[in-house]
Amino acid sequence: MKLLDLFSGIGGFHKGFEKAGFEFDWVGFSDIDKYASAVYKYRYPDAKELGDITSIRPERDLPDHIDILCGGFPCQAFSQSGLRKGFKDIRGTLFFEIARILRHFRDTEKPIPYFVLENVKGLLSHDDGRTFAIIYRVLTDIGYTVECQLLNTRWVLPQNRERIYIVGHFGRGSGCKVFPIGEDGSNYRTNKINVIGTTLNTGAKGTNSRHWVYDNDGLLGALSATDYKQPKQIKIPEATKKGYAEAKVGDSINLSVPNSKTRRGRVGKGEAQTLDTGMQQYTIDKTAIRRLTPVECMRLQGFPDDWNEKGMMDGKVVDMSDTQRYKQAGNAVSVPIVSMVAERIKDASN
């Protein structure tokens, strides 16, 4: 199979499809962030780097057929923090580059069977729904049956991260093939992993703990310690009638706009709020408030701990700075959510 991974970041889509059992004999990836691409190259050395999506010429740069196209196209133009300029922002117009590539393969009579796109929740309501209507119309005009659903990372990991997933399968099929995916669907029920903790799972015995929590492949193991006889409580100013929110050991605190008079929900009860590129999220341990670590951010997105520690730049293996690792985590898709979607695609295509 062949995968075209657009706005590829550090490879979250690729990893998610792998976890769902997909095997690819060709992968092309496209991103303008050289540090994210360095991580991708380090993790997938056989993948072909395509550079800026606007420079991709399918007849020159891509094989004559692609099985799956995926991409988390830039969300800043549709997010609250990005002033929601939509198609007036050049980042918003990059969606039409995806459409250009899909249209090319349709016109060569080798249409890409499936695509999976991801964006922020605000895409649905931007410009009173007109922006999403345009996206939907463009994709259906190319010939795709389009499905979409809002999925939340908190279903499987302790991060409240709502994202819209758009799936297209070529042809005028009847009925839905991929969605809906339910939080409590029997095939996709997953125990939430505790990744914000003070004691990591090292296999030690005899510790004071409530339970050991493991991911299926052992990547996200962490210990939930409960030996807190006097847990620290902190009051965080909040724009509510109460005026503050209480944070306790194991909660997260978002300090990106500490003086805001309109913001609420800055304390995550036992989970992180949506990771962003600035990564001003903290947690309370037994002794102090501390910033989430890059490893914890990787876990909150469902990656292995060391996924973006290193990258490949100019033929050399280099270390990634914490600044880049935080940014990459904030921009990434959540691997287990992608895997859920990929599993449904696999079932539908069999």
* Residue positions annotated with a catalytic role: 75
Tell me the one-letter amino acid at 150: L
The SS3 of residue 244 is strand
Tell me the one-letter amino acid at 160: N
Long-range CB contacts for residues 230-235, cutoff 8 Å, separation at least 24:
232/284, 232/286, 232/287, 234/284, 234/289
Burial of 206 (0-12, 13-18, 19+ CB in 10 A): exposed
Residue 183 token pair = 């939080």
Burial of 267 (0-12, 13-18, 19+ CB in 10 A): buried
Which phi and psi angles does 348 have, rounded to 5°? -70, -30
First to last CA, the chain: 14
Q: 172 Cβ partners below 8 Å, 6+ apart?
A: 143, 145
Distance CA 75, CA 241 (A): 32
Residue 228 token pair = 């807190």
Tell me the one-letter amino acid at 84: R
> Is the previous residue joined to 180 through a cis bond, with omega within 30 degrees of 0?
yes
Contact present, 344 and 177 (Cβ < 8 Å) = yes
Distance CA 183, CA 185 (A): 6
